[in-house]
Amino acid sequence: MKKFFILTAATSLLLIPTSQFAQSKKEKEKMAQAASALPEKKPETTIKEYGKVITKDAKSDDGLFTVHKVDKKYFFEIPNKLLDKDMLLVSRLSKLPSDLGGGYVNAGSETNEQLVVWQRFQDKVLLKIKSYSAVADPSLPINLSVKNNNYEPVLFAFDIVAFSSNSENTVIDVTKFYSTDVKAISGLSASMRESYKVKGLDDSRSFITAMKSFPMNIEVVQDFTYNASNPPVMKDAETISIQMNQSMILLPEVPMTPRLADPRVGWFTMNQIDYGSNELKSDSKTFIRRWRLEPKDPEAYARGELVEPVKPIVYYLDPATPEKLRKYIKQGIEEWQKPFETAGFKNAIIAKDPPTKEEDPDFSPEDIRYSVIRYVASTTRNAVGPSISDPRTGEIIESDVIWYHNHLRSYRNRYLLETGAANPSARTLNTSDEEMGEMMRFVIAHEVGHALGFPHNMGASSAYDVESYRNAAFTQKYGIAASLMDYARFNYIAQPGDKGVRFIRQMGPYDHYALNWGYRVIPNVKSPEAEVPTLDKWILEKAGDLNYKFGKQSSSFDPSSQTEDIGNNSMKASTYGLKNLEYVAANLSKWTSDVTNNYEDLDELYKEMMDVWSRYVGHVVTNVGGVYENTKKPNQQGSIYDVVPKVKQQEAMQWLQSNAFASPTWLVNIPTLKNINYSGYTERFRGLQVRHLNTILSFDRIGRLMDAEILGANNYTANDLLQDMRKGIWKEASSGSNVTIYRRNLQRAYIERMSFLMTEELKSGSSRDYYNVSQSDIRGLVRGQLNVLKGTLATAKSGAVNAETKFHYLDCIKRIENILDPK
């Protein structure tokens, strides 16, 4: 039926007279002629005359751009010559509720940093995010492909609302951009939004507070209020209010010449892929991040004279800084003047008090023109030294070192716990202002070091022999690590009776060496590559000298590159440390609660003392399955990775059995515990012991030991480790002695860990230590040790042991059987 209908309709159309079609065509032509006679309708435009947008009532501020406020609207008047110029857009929190982000986010914290350009597109101006991670010389054909394959996102599009009378400037309305919740410049991360159940920005309680334009930057202050079901504080208000500061700075027209990084000297870096390379692939380049220091007198500098830089590094103190601490902060900043002199610069880094309102009414710590030591009212115990750099070259533009108010309490506590045995002045809750100031001075110097471009050098403390820490002359001259950038805070090795030793860290020889390597101007070079022979020569001159070794913080497998340790032998250093800690434990009440007549400080310090014990143990653990890492180039002798010798690993294992896994005697101080808690006496120590037990019996460590078998016949092996652990953890079963509650807890944890090794797998790609566990030796080795242990316990349970030990052995046998035969 459908086909028939279509055919009929088509036939009827053929029967319509052609005159009707002709008539319709004439009518259409007449209508078209009539329409053409009408005046042409001009396309609509939002562009108006300048005076109708920027009226006589406008409040204007000249600078990088001219910023106008007209009624409740804000406008940027952008000089056309600044279109397509590289700028840095930096978002910072200016004010925030307490505990936002868990305590490590504060006023001054950077939330985003983006390189942007303003581009004209038809009747709009686009704010585009630009990247220099992939580059090619503009003169090369491949540069076109680089641009096409790295297309830059548009952050925001603005309608052009007017042009200046001379047509040299373009006016855009930026009100919406700065008054709405643009996530790329927001202070709330995605995780915060999820955690605090943020529903959205409340427009009625959000506004632009201020806009100021300066010659090289624009500063915008926003007050934002969000509706949130689970805010960090004041839950009933269901509100989060923050103040943001948006800084936009014009980057240098002539970029700084970058310096190529070398992994043998520690620097914060940035990476680029250069597609203009003549090699058969793109060339990955890594540049160090550093300030631009150029000598005022290049000729004098080239002659080896000390010369002031054209633009020194200046740090201002936060106006909120307590008066009594200011001199120590200034000393910490200017501690780096001596290393800069090593690099040929004098007065290269300067500390200043904050200007008064009369001196600079526009001064703000959030202003990107100023580097500030921020003093933060927060219970967080920390300090950090972030910086902002030019992503084109690594040039550091600005940095804010952040000091949290309660951080000095951490140093007081550790000073007492780690040095109190040998240092009478540390045996108090009221450490002198001079000593606290000395600690603060070098914490600030450490954080300024980060802001100068230096990461942690965790290998610096291993340059010094353990016994040197008991020598007054040595410690006073060299401090307690070859670099201030190590986490070597106090001399915990010095023993009671060691007179005149230094207990607090200080600048070391590596700091002078690394700063010279990164900041010294090399004359008559025209490219980063041309500097490499000189830079390489400086490194080779120091090769083999441990004072100038860089140890990465990420080297969790290298016992010579550990956090919070000192000395070149973990076992000797930790033995001295535990001797001192035992002395402190016996006197802790006398130094705290007996003086204050309350137990608050005793409770706090006792818990921290347990953590100190755990750190000393952890330093020894790293030796087991350890691998030394010595970064080298092929023209240097020796290999990069060397397994820790078998005798040293055996020494570490014996130390752990005697100290970490033995029942505590002095550490679990019964009189102290009875005054600070009614329960949990065994649980906290169990947790510390089990942490180290599990760290030793881990897939990555055992995997390295299995690899060691092919690297040398005399290496410590995975079977050695498992056998030594079994014998040490279960020594009571072999000797027929009773097992204490601490050891019973530890032995059950051992069985649980062996079960883990029998059943779990490493996640593919989880680390460089990945391997297929089920097809490796691990299951067989673990099964063998459990079978041996089962037989030992079967004999031990029949011996002359108490009821707790017997029942414990019966339970352990059953647990082992369940592992070996899960059915």
Same domain as 15, residue 101: no
- Residue carrying the six token digits 């079901």: 229
**Quick check: 585 and 482 in contact, CB under 8 A?**
no
Residues of the chain with pLDDT under 50: 1-22, 41-42
**Quick check: 482 and 512 in contact, CB under 8 A?**
no
168 vs 160, 162, 164, 673, CA distance in Å? 13, 11, 6, 77
Domain membership flag for residue 117: yes
pLDDT at residue 383 in the model: 74
Q: How many CB atoms lie within 10 A of CB 664?
A: 17
pLDDT at residue 24 in the model: 56
pLDDT at residue 582 in the model: 96
Count of the separate structural domains present in the chain: 3
Same domain as 720, residue 618: yes
Domain that holds residue 21: 2-37
Residue 665 structure tokens: 């005697």
Helical spans, DSSP H, in 270-356: 298-302, 323-334, 337-342
**Of 194, 228, 250, the domain-final residue:** 250
Domain membership flag for residue 485: no
Full 3-state SS string of 549-608: CCCCCCCCCCCCCCCCCCCCCHHHHHHHHHHHHHHHHHHHHHHCHHHHCCCHHHHHHHHH
pLDDT at residue 764 in the model: 74
3-state secondary structure of 163: strand
Same domain as 747, residue 625: yes
Residue 324 structure tokens: 């009594």
Q: Residue 45 and residue 507: Cα distance in Å, rounded?
A: 64
pLDDT at residue 16 in the model: 44
Same domain as 101, residue 242: yes
Domain membership flag for residue 532: no
Residue 632 structure tokens: 């080298």
Same domain as 30, residue 94: no
Q: How far is CA 111 from the centre of its chain?
A: 13
- Residue carrying the six token digits 């009624």: 71
Q: How many CB atoms lie within 10 A of CB 710?
A: 8
Residues sharing a CB contact under 8 Å with residue 157, sequence separation 6 or more, in sequence order = 121, 124, 125, 126, 127
**Of 250, 277, 312, the domain-final residue:** 250
Same domain as 117, residue 26: no
Same domain as 108, residue 28: no
Q: How far is CA 43 from the centre of its chain?
A: 53
Domain membership flag for residue 759: yes
**Of 226, 250, 274, the domain-final residue:** 250
Concatenated DSSP letters of 198-263: EEEE-GGG-EEEEEEE-SSEEEEEEEEEEEESS-SS-GGG-EEEEEEEEEEEEPPSSPPPP-B--T
Q: What is the DSSP letter of 122?
A: T
pLDDT at residue 207 in the model: 92
Same domain as 641, residue 601: yes
Q: Give residue-wise pLDDT tens across range 354-387.
A: 988 898 888 888 788 889 998 877 666 777 778 8
Q: Residue 669 and residue 674: Cα distance in Å, rounded?
A: 9
Q: Residue 473 and residue 776: Cα distance in Å, rounded?
A: 52
pLDDT at residue 83 in the model: 96
Same domain as 93, residue 10: no
Q: Residue 277 and residue 283: Cα distance in Å, rounded?
A: 6
Domain membership flag for residue 238: yes
pLDDT at residue 452 in the model: 96
Same domain as 133, residue 29: no
pLDDT at residue 717 in the model: 96
Domain membership flag for residue 671: yes
pTM listed for this prediction? 0.87
Closest CA to 178 of 243, 124, 113, 100: 243
Same domain as 30, residue 62: no
Q: Residue 119 and residue 85: Cα distance in Å, rounded?
A: 9
Domain membership flag for residue 236: yes
Domain membership flag for residue 694: yes
Same domain as 677, residue 642: yes
